[in-house]
Amino acid sequence: MKIKRHKQRIWAMQIMYGLDVQRSISKEEALKEIEIKKTEENIKQKEKNYYFEKLVLGVIENQEYIDKTIEKNAIGWHLYRMPVVDRNILRIAIYEIIDELAIGIVINEAVELAKEFGSEKSSGFINGVLSNVHENEGEL
């Protein structure tokens, strides 16, 4: 069963959002939530590398670096003053940049998630932050 990456980004964002709200962003908690998501979505295959798993675990492994990158590029914003949805869409997008996914795809997907799940200002904010990251990409 092939699951589109957009859907898997949504799942990753939902998991990261839940962990963030509970203030329990850890690999152990993430693995539990990943298994819950697989059950909810009726994923029977035990295929090891679903994209949403890679995103969640990649964000957690690189969270300190990712959060610093967001803080540096979200001019005038502190990470924990951002809406939780926006913060976690940015975390996933920065991880995808680190993982060398094409910047255009990353920005487009992050903006789409923001339009779907964020406030009316989220997509512009996320686009601006990721554009700053792109301009400073040599520093990633």
Residue 48, token pair as written in the block = 């090891």
Instruction: Just give the CATH number of 5-139.
Output: 1.10.940.10
| Local confidence band at 138 (pLDDT 50, 70, 90 cut-offs) | low
Residue range 85-116, pLDDT digits in tens: 999 999 999 999 999 999 999 999 999 999 99
Separation of alpha carbons 83 and 73, rounded Å: 16
> How far apart are the C-alpha atoms of 115 and 124, rounded to whole Å?
9
Q: How many angstroms separate the CA atoms of 63 and 131, rounded?
A: 20
On whether the CB atoms of residues 113 and 13 are closer than 8 A, the answer is: yes
Contact 122, 86 (CB under 8 A): yes
pTM, to two decimals: 0.92
Spacing of C-alpha 35 from chain mean position: 18
Domain segments of the chain: what residues? 5-139
Model confidence over 45-87: pLDDT tens digits? 666 679 999 999 999 999 999 999 999 999 999 998 999 999 9
